[in-house]
Amino acid sequence: MSTPLVRLRLDEATAKRVADVLEDAFPFGEASVSAFETAKDEWAVEVYGGPDATAEELASALREALGPESAGLRIEADAIEEADWVAKSLEGLAPVPAGRFVVYGSHDRDKIPADAIGIEIEAALAFGTGHHGTTRGCLLALDELLTERRFERVLDLGTGTAVLAIAVALAQRGPVLATDIDETSVTIAAENAEANGAGAFVEAVHATGFDHPVFAARGPFDLIVANILAGPLVELAPDVKRHLAEGGRVVLSGLMTHEEERVLDAYRAEGLSLVVARQLEGWSTLVLAA
């Protein structure tokens, strides 16, 4: 059996932007996306599809996801013999440092500095490997916040792989509530927390909205992290404020830089103020205070 593979050769900035778009475009479990340097001033984006798709079908889906931008790109479609294709897609993913945190795959376990807080996350399992500008932006924001103070009641909303929940739990050795609307992501989040030595601190819960009783039981929260998308962030602003403790902090990401003002307006309308905004690779991370 073979696995479809689509490859694009690009400059670094375009490769990272294209990889970000494709990570968001392909539904959970449908494809594995990686971007990595192949030579000086040349990067590759590789997309590995599931066994039920052909390389041509994967290339077509990629063109649809990229829209007009795909017209100027050289897209190579191929198939590779069945092997550990997820592991192959990880070969080019180097560890990602973000402050005191380093996110890495198991293939780089021996490369993590002893004084870093290592978080081992495999790609293609759920969203959030650290290679996406939004995840790295959140980790940098958390590193700064956790240096300033300790947060006793923490919520990671839309946890995905639980990389952010694990980061807080390991840094503070304290509890974190990690919720997601996707049941598979919740299962993976719990497994990742356990594998990283944070199982005793991270409670992973399947919750489709703030009406779930766990929010009332564990809140109000003095730190809420939400790395999702701009639209849901805007819609959730009133609920986030309602579950935020006085003097609490909110870290928001999953929004592109041109979406900053729309998201900020929604949270300012709830009485929150901007502490800092960070832009990475076309994505923004916002830290707000109650």
User: Is the distance from CB of 76 to CB of 89 less than 8 angstroms?
Assistant: no
Q: Of the candidates 68, 71, 78, 70, which has an alpha carbon nearest to the alpha carbon of residue 46? A: 78
What is the rounded distance in angstroms from the CA atom of residue 23 to the CA atom of residue 15? 12
**N residues, the chain:** 290
Amino acid identity of residue 232, one-letter, is: P
Q: Is residue 180 marked as binding?
A: yes
What is the rounded distance in angstroms from the CA atom of residue 245 to the CA atom of residue 221? 5
Q: 71: which residues sit within 8 A by CB, 6+ positions away?
A: none
User: Is the distance from CB of 42 to CB of 9 less than 8 angstroms?
Assistant: yes
Q: Is residue 135 marked as binding?
A: yes
**Unique residue bearing structure tokens 């449908």:** 30
What is the DSSP-derived secondary structure letter of residue 124? T
What is the rounded distance in angstroms from the CA atom of residue 44 to the CA atom of residue 19? 10
What are the tokens at 36? 């990595």
Which residues are part of a known binding site?
135, 158, 180, 227
Which residues are part of a known binding site for S-adenosyl-L-methionine?
135, 158, 180, 227
